[in-house]
Structure 1
């Protein structure tokens, strides 16, 4: 008698196709709005005919659209729909706006809420500080790199052992060691301060729900006289905000146990 259990399971080729779709979608980001089939082929090690067939099939499914330039592809309407739906299910996105506004006003800095995306933190909400002549800001949808304080806070709390690998891709051993030290310090302190290009600095702390880290709240500034010491107004208000959000989400400020000691 034939085994019908195996017939109901996805075949190896089906699973590989699904994985390939995920890899193609992951190629898009803040600095990669459009790709050609040749780009996809080069980055994923495919031949160009196969890459084009994948892209054309994804267009038919609504996952990709034809780009404005000949031969290019962009993320499609289905991805937009799913992204909006995914965000709407994150309670922290609903409750954070008034907290960010109060924080920004209290410290006269731009306040940012970020969620962990496919391979790193993605800016989700931005409350700009308009009290100063020059506004230090970041756009919603931007993916943060390893230099951002919010990235380091996430790495200090995530249990997925792949996270550090994604964030350190292309780094030298010395750069990775520096990042690991910063992540360790952020986890111990409960917040992180990071210097970035152009004299900009960022400070960030985690927000927890019942499952672990749900988001990070960050502050962006460029005032060289800003007091970022423990117990300063900036750090106190930042931690007060993340504690309030954590309480609303019924989370705990205690970090979850880590599955990978590197994080």
Structure 2
């Protein structure tokens, strides 16, 4: 099974890019973030015509997450993290596909830090970690995939000294990611490529993509039941070079059959 995650940065504005990539790579499951579309404006028919069934949680102008599947209609389990019923941001959706629980997430950016947005990010991270702990206690194989908006280590960021005060790289955020993985989750990319420079995001400014001034902020975390099935992983970096593309590139893993 091939599972991908892709922050599309506007699903309707980037629809030609998304459809081109789906046709080129045909992943079995896709987690999308930053739809930037209300629920009724999700391009469901175009996605279906491309061979995918989908569930999604939209939000006007911002956020938004979706899970696409070539195999079967994702069986939705939840569309919000527990822990704050007042939270209106559409940043999490969860479904079962072929016996695997897929959690698709879009963690808050948190800038400027310190400040209310940074506090919201840390609180959201705590809720994610608490929910992940309950998932870890189950016997179900789990993938937590998406845009985490965190570079876990210095190897995950171009010129880390320039990012020390940014909400994506502050010590509190990196510690929160470590607390999460310490539950027993496997960072799929780092499992297969422990020392390599791998980026998933390049800013639109200052020719970041051309200079390879990137960040690794899109991650796959695998539960212990699933980690032994990891066969391959990578970044479709070339998609970031397409016209009118997202500032993220798609990231993917391949899992062996049970």
Calculate the TM-score normalised by the size of structure 1. 0.31
Q: Give the helix-richer structure, 1 or 2.
A: 1
| Rg larger for | 1
Calculate the TM-score normalised by the size of structure 2. 0.31
Larger relative contact order (C-alpha < 8 A, sep ≥ 6)?
2
Q: Give the strand-richer structure, 1 or 2.
A: 2
